[in-house]
């Protein structure tokens, strides 16, 4: 067979490079929406959201504050956690009216934060270093908002990934995210070429999920259990009732190109690493900061801070994700849908609120939407899809900075009627998504 020197054939080289570029672009587009649904704005819907057929949305509140996670009670009370307190109130109490709007009826908790959860007659809420609980009456109203019980204290709070999201299981345990205060455990954080700290000692107190008892006061690391490690930062998490298991959404590491440009170009860095959903059991290790997940290769990759070069794979020790989304979309909310309003295909499936990226430049930013993953018997049963889009009110190619986004999804909650509630932490808008033919 005759051999050819491609260096002497510039036209052939150009064709090959074009084909490679096109295949990469096609792969990235397909990953942006594994199952394509035809989304549209419902007739009469003024929210600008694009949703599947027969779904519509309304705005129930504009808090003009950074609304993070929320819960909705059977009686129609809505407790919203604010990133920063406003007028001494870090938890806002709303009441749904007959007109569909929610009016403020109170507020308490002079601390900011993200986590809030309702379970077994108590409202649980977190600051960025502590967790409190409030006793509820039969109407799910807080009995004494000025005297909460502090159940967890002394958690590490860095300048980044400081929020403490939380969830409870069915056996009296509470699970709290403690995010890594560093991007990738470098000796010099986010500095070009800086290598990883050997062994990443911060993992003894951060970069994972800690388990505590839900009813014991003033617990700290000594009374808790490091339930799972190797998780850079988890803002969205939920307990799956079908298989009685914790699921989490990890924020993947940043700046592969900025820190190691010899291994990653800007395009690759804008999509890697994947934002991963993990099914988590006690003792699991997801691998941060030593690895990241490449959704194109479907492989765990050795991090460049620890000897990786974008090619070296890791085949053992660390758990695999159950779903891998495109990078840098910032999953801030996770909710398993157990309501009855939506069609059967949504039952027990997972909704994920993607807050939206900041570090895909010079590529357009991504996220700013709510995705859905179908589940069966407690495990993903199909590809993910975009469920609610256009929170930013900008087309993808025009969205170059998160500051351009009008709204950014953050928290998710299920209403007693089966409606889905979504918070925005730019203006504090709360959306209610309903289904009806």
Does the pLDDT value for residue 57 go beyond 50?
Answer: yes
Give the bridge partners for 389, in sequence order. Answer: 50
Could you list the residue range(s) of the whole structural domain that residue 254 is in? 22-435
Find the distance separating the first CA and the last CA of the chain, reported in whole Å: 65
Q: What is the mean pLDDT of residues 139-147?
A: 97
Phi first, then psi, for residue 213 (nearest 5°) are -80, 145
For residue 26, what pLDDT band results from cuts at 50, 70 and 90?
very low
Quick: pLDDT tens for 263-305: 999 999 999 999 999 999 999 999 999 999 999 999 999 999 9
Give the pLDDT score at 25.
41
Does any domain span residue 28?
Answer: yes
Does any domain span residue 12?
Answer: no
CA distances from 223 to 114, 166, 207, 280, 430 (A): 23, 17, 18, 21, 37
Phi first, then psi, for residue 12 (nearest 5°) are -65, -45
Lowest pLDDT segment from 50-54, 155-159, 201-205: 155-159
Q: Which two tokens stand for residue 323?
A: 């779903």
Q: What is the mean pLDDT of residues 203-221?
A: 98
Model pTM score: 0.90
Does the pLDDT value for residue 10 go beyond 80?
Answer: no
Does the pLDDT value for residue 395 go beyond 50?
Answer: yes
Does the pLDDT value for residue 19 go beyond 60?
Answer: no
Domain CATH for 263: 2.120.10.30
Does any domain span residue 269?
Answer: yes
Burial class (CB in 10 A: 0-12, 13-18, 19+), 423: buried
Does any domain span residue 340?
Answer: yes
Distance between CA atoms of residues 42 and 62, nearest Å: 21
Give the pLDDT score at 44.
61
Give the pLDDT score at 2.
35
Give the pLDDT score at 403.
86
| DSSP assignment of 62-109 | E-SS-EEEEEE-TTSEEEEEEEEEETTEEEEEEEE-TTS-EEEEEEE-
Does any domain span residue 129?
Answer: yes
Give the pLDDT score at 36.
65
Q: What is the mean pLDDT of residues 76-93?
A: 97
Quick: pLDDT tens for 372-391: 999 999 999 999 999 999 99
Total domain count for the chain?
1
Does any domain span residue 2?
Answer: no
Does any domain span residue 7?
Answer: no
Does any domain span residue 56?
Answer: yes
Phi first, then psi, for residue 226 (nearest 5°) are -75, 95
Does the pLDDT value for residue 37 go beyond 70?
Answer: no
């Amino acid at each position: 067979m005759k051999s050819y020197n491609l260096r002497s054939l510039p036209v052939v080289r150009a064709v090959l490079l074009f084909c490679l570029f096109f295949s990469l672009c096609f792969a990235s587009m397909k990953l942006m929406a594994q199952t394509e649904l035809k989304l549209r704005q419902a007739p009469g819907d003024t929210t600008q959201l694009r949703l599947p057929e027969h779904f519509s949305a309304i705005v129930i509140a504009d808090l003009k504050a950074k609304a993070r996670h929320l819960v909705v009670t059977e009686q129609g009370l809505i407790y919203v956690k604010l990133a920063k307190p406003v007028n001494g109130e870090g938890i806002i109490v709303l009441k749904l009216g007959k007109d569909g709007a929610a009016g403020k009826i109170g507020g308490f908790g002079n601390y900011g934060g993200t986590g809030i959860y309702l379970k077994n007659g108590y409202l649980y809420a977190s600051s960025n270093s502590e967790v409190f609980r409030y006793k509820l009456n039969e109407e799910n109203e807080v009995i004494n908002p000025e005297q909460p019980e502090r159940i967890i204290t002394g958690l590490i709070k860095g300048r980044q990934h400081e929020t403490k999201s939380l969830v409870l299981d069915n056996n009296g345990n509470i699970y709290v995210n403690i995010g890594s205060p560093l991007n990738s455990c470098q000796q010099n954080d986010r500095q070009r070429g800086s290598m990883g700290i050997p062994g990443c000692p911060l993992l003894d107190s951060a970069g994972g999920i800690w388990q505590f008892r839900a009813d014991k006061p003033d617990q700290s690391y000594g009374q808790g259990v490091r339930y799972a490690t190797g998780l850079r930062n988890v803002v969205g998490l939920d307990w799956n009732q079908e298989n009685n298991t914790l699921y989490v959404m990890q924020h993947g590491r940043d700046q592969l190109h900025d820190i190691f440009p010899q291994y990653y170009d800007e395009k690759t860095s804008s999509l890697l690493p994947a934002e991963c959903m993990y099914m988590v059991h006690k003792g699991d290790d997801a691998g941060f900061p030593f690895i990241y997940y490449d959704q194109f290769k479907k492989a765990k990759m050795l991090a460049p801070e620890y000897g990786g070069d974008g090619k070296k794979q890791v085949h053992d020790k660390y758990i695999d994700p159950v779903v891998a989304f495109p990078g840098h979309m910032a999953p801030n909310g996770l909710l398993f849908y157990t309501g009855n309003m939506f069609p059967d295909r949504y039952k027990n499936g997972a909704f994920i609120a993607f807050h939206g990226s900041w570090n895909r430049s010079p590529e357009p930013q991504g996220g700013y939407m709510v995705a859905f993953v179908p589940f069966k018997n407690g495990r993903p049963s199909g590809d993910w899809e975009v469920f609610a889009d256009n929170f930013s009110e900008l087309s993808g190619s025009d969205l170059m900075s998160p500051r351009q986004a009008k709204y950014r999804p953050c928290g998710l909650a299920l209403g007693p009627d089966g409606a889905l509630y979504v918070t925005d932490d730019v203006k504090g808008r709360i959306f209610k998504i309903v289904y009806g033919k």
